[in-house]
Structure 1
């Protein structure tokens, strides 16, 4: 990140971490005329630079607990510190400007353009116009939206996934140390949801924010969380641990109910593409400005039939077969669009689904969507077989 916020909440000074530690100590929320508190004496330390996921049934208090961190809900009692500062002694408006907030269906201002939506908090912080414009462009690039194409569009002109990307960009625009996310991907289709999850993991690997993420989907919690807090009624903590520890040893029947059947197989989703040896040279990569005859000659000499066409930023565009090149004067619009590319942050389950969709091999992308290699079904199935054997998972597992 190239800019620093004006903030009362300070980030950790650990290398590679821009997030701040959050401590909640005996935090309680009581609403008037209710017999029991919505949240009762909630105590937790959320490490700086980590993703902590609150998962639990509807009405258990997980969203209320998260919203007390930025004081959109005022706690009745208890203390909350962020980066060592007492959040209850910071002006609420100033506090919220230093904590990113992303919600379901993005919550964008409908009559603001994409650029105007992203610039809201920097504007409130009195950044100058030149700095805001540079930051908007940086944020759009970060979440994979071309500023030239999308900056002046209104939210209604975007897909659901694009809206959520803008929502994340807006939440990160002032470079906050903490990001709160309340079921942000719950309203999009499963494929888009998986892509957005991958995007969040990619961003987090680069930014090192402290993220508190609320969901009712345990599989999403396993995929995203460095730690998971399984919450019960009144936000009582049933178990707070790493995903693999919860999958291996659920603390009680409530947690076991969330884990569900096939816990051993769920552990396979903890493995990322970055953890396996995906190929970096199995596919010929060509740029759109290369002449089709040159590409055909290169393919023939290499004994290959397909090339991967990329744009000027090395992002995947299309697969092109050698027989599609004859008589062509340009690679523009030639070939089949790349479907489900995956990132190095994707799980092996995501990789397997993409490989099956793409016909046996999927493109692997890096931190800016650039091609870093490919992965095939043999690689994934070999790894899965090894993990199943290690965990003692039988054929019926």
Structure 2
């Protein structure tokens, strides 16, 4: 992991835990007992379990914030115990709940801290700060000079993710990073993480107690019991459809069929189009593009092609500036968003349509209720066919404390 090509490539590397345990002095039982698992390069693996299960301890042993008592951990083939602990942590991104920003430092200084520690020059750090803030959809000119106290909780979490990614680490550890924000902001931040991961391909280890969050974010989920015993380590779909035991089934809970909406992404469905105009074009341009069809609605875009407002032909014709036409686009989904996210956005929109955005927030198209419902119907028919064709299985092959993902 310390090789120059791995530092600059930015793509994920494989992590292996082999019989890893943590025992604290004076305690009869280990906090983490003989965990073995392989975290594939470039995937998001979510550790989910109840409070006290040892999931955070397991994750923190990867970057040696907690030293393992026994066992072996390798990152990109290198034994982490053979590396300098401080150097190791600088090469692994780390994002925690409530962001953990330094209050006396500006946003720019917070984001640029790790690149500065590893010896980047000032010009390169400044460029990287702006790049990272733009990546998490915060305007660098507006936010780099602010202090954490001047940001909302969601903005602080975005800065925390930007800081964790600033030195381009191959591995990102995330310890319940969205647990302290409101549900709406949490959903937006989850979408942002999925968008970033689609672009960056890091190896992400994500800790949460929220199974719905695990299903939404994880390529694989490790359901942990006491002392981080791996009850099941598999894809979200496999765990939802075939939980290994009653404990795992309890995590899945009611509504497993509805949870499967989180397994499908907006990028998998056909996106529609509506007329658009940029904010610096004349209102008549959008009105002409909308034509005379009753109920037609268009989208006003900013100078970076990001959606700003919904507007009908009548609304476009009643203003002298498209920046004031219609109503704001209050909710949108990205191509990495789930069908459940899309359905929720559609149901809360006055016209039953959700805007779809790309990796930098640019307009891609729209999705409506008919498209989502037709997709759900097709998935249901597909699953019914699969169930009829495949023999029943007794349980998951990956259950147990020695789970490996190959």
Fold conserved between structures, TM > 0.5: yes
- Picking from 335, 352, 365, the partner of 1:373 is 365
Question: Are residue 343 (structure 1) and residue 334 (structure 2) matched?
Answer: yes
CA 1:327 to 1:372, structure 2 compared with 1: closer, same or farther past 3 Å?
A: closer
SS at match of 2:291: helix
Aligned-partner Cα distance in 2 for 1:9–1:64:
29
Question: Are residue 296 (structure 1) and residue 296 (structure 2) matched?
Answer: no
Aligned-partner Cα distance in 2 for 1:358–1:71:
46
Question: Are residue 326 (structure 1) and residue 288 (structure 2) matched?
Answer: no
CA 1:373 to 1:327, structure 2 compared with 1: closer, same or farther past 3 Å?
A: closer
Deviation per residue, 1:241-261 (Å, 9 max, x gap): 111111111111111111112
Q: CA deviation at 1:302?
A: 6.8
Aligned-partner Cα distance in 2 for 1:81–1:240:
19
Q: Give me the TM-score of the superposition, normalised by structure 2.
A: 0.91
Look up the match of 2:198: 205
Q: CA deviation at 1:91?
A: 0.5
What's the Cα RMSD here?
1.9
Residues 113 and 153, structure 1, Cα contact 8 Å, conserved in 2:
yes
Deviation per residue, 1:2-45 (Å, 9 max, x gap): xxxx94597499xx980111011111100011010100111111
Look up the match of 1:48: 41
Look up the match of 2:224: 231
- Picking from 358, 372, 375, the partner of 2:349 is 358
Residues 8 and 98, structure 1, Cα contact 8 Å, conserved in 2:
no
Aligned-partner Cα distance in 2 for 1:267–1:10:
39
Aligned-partner Cα distance in 2 for 1:298–1:77:
67
Residues 8 and 95, structure 1, Cα contact 8 Å, conserved in 2:
no
Look up the match of 1:193: 186
Aligned-partner Cα distance in 2 for 1:268–1:305:
29
Residues 9 and 177, structure 1, Cα contact 8 Å, conserved in 2:
no
Deviation per residue, 1:157-185 (Å, 9 max, x gap): 11111111100000000000000000001
Look up the match of 1:150: 143
SS at match of 1:332: helix
Which has the bigger relative contact order, CA under 8 A and spacing at least 6?
2
Aligned runs of 1:164-183 on 2, under 5 Å?
Answer: 164-183=157-176
Aligned-partner Cα distance in 2 for 1:289–1:334:
12
SS at match of 2:270: coil
156-165 vs 327-336, which moves further: 327-336
Aligned runs of 1:27-176 on 2, under 5 Å?
Answer: 27-176=20-169
SS at match of 1:119: helix
Residues 276 and 286, structure 2, Cα contact 8 Å, conserved in 1:
no
Deviation per residue, 1:296-337 (Å, 9 max, x gap): 233236776422001111111011222223353322232211
Look up the match of 2:392: none
Gaps of 5+ in 1: 1-5
CA 1:53 to 1:327, structure 2 compared with 1: closer, same or farther past 3 Å?
A: closer
SS at match of 1:368: coil
Aligned-partner Cα distance in 2 for 1:237–1:294:
59
SS at match of 1:307: strand
Gaps of 5+ in 2: 386-406
Aligned runs of 1:265-284 on 2, under 5 Å?
Answer: 265-279=258-272, 281=273, 283-284=274-275
Aligned-partner Cα distance in 2 for 1:299–1:142:
33
CA 1:17 to 1:384, structure 2 compared with 1: closer, same or farther past 3 Å?
A: farther
Residues 9 and 85, structure 1, Cα contact 8 Å, conserved in 2:
no
Deviation per residue, 1:107-136 (Å, 9 max, x gap): 111111111110010011111000000000
Residues 9 and 82, structure 1, Cα contact 8 Å, conserved in 2:
no
Residues 10 and 169, structure 2, Cα contact 8 Å, conserved in 1:
no
Look up the match of 1:3: none
Aligned-partner Cα distance in 2 for 1:294–1:210:
46
Aligned-partner Cα distance in 2 for 1:349–1:294:
34
